[in-house]
Amino acid sequence: MKYLYVGMTDEVDRGAARRVAARVEAAFGGPVRELELGSVEFAHDAARGQYASIPVLEMLLRRCPEDARKLLAVTGRDLFIPVLTFVFGHAQLGGKVGVISLARLEQEFYGLAPDREVLLERADKEALHETGHMFGLVHCAERRCAMSLATNIRQIDVKDNAFCPQCAARLRKQIGEQV
């Protein structure tokens, strides 16, 4: 039996991470197991004040349990890849591991009053997006699809908390092939 794993870093809001786990279970045909990942301080880049996502993915590959189909980590740290100022998440396309960051999904990041429902909804969408990449899905041209590319928070808010019919069909095929 293979499981989808949702990993949680030390600092992440457990309630939000568990909500992500439930969404992943519903969307990808669970069951989902939780995994404590510890700290991601090793990925801290002092010059940028952010966390490099590539070392995080490398750590996830090392920590990935034998019985894992996929491992999606949830962190509260702000992530980046060298060429970009930030990423909302990062996953291996067609691979086993991925990570999403809640840092830029919070209203507070944009100087607004906290709104937990908004945060959880955004986290759901990002979790679908990065897990979709792990199942081989690429970006979708349909703006409302969870697989559409979001380079700012408005684009995440425009998305539905679901895949478009075409991506859903592709996903079913991929899941079928990978089981």
- The residue among 115 and 157 lying less far from other proteins, judged by its C-beta, is 157
- The residue among 22 and 103 lying less far from other proteins, judged by its C-beta, is 103
Nearest to 55 by CA among 79, 34, 21, 88: 79
According to DSSP, residue 137 is labeled -
Assess whether 130 carries a catalytic annotation.
Answer: yes
- The residue among 54 and 112 lying less far from other proteins, judged by its C-beta, is 54
Q: Are 118 and 126 in contact (CB under 8 A)?
A: no
**Minimum CB–partner distance for residue 173 and other proteins (Å):** 9
According to DSSP, residue 76 is labeled S
* Token pair of 151 as six digits: 């380079």
Q: Are 26 and 124 in contact (CB under 8 A)?
A: no
**Minimum CB–partner distance for residue 80 and other proteins (Å):** 7
**Contact residues for other proteins (CB under 8 A)?**
48, 54, 80-87, 91-93, 133, 138-139, 141, 149, 151-152, 166, 169-170
108, 117, 130, 142: which one is catalytic? 130
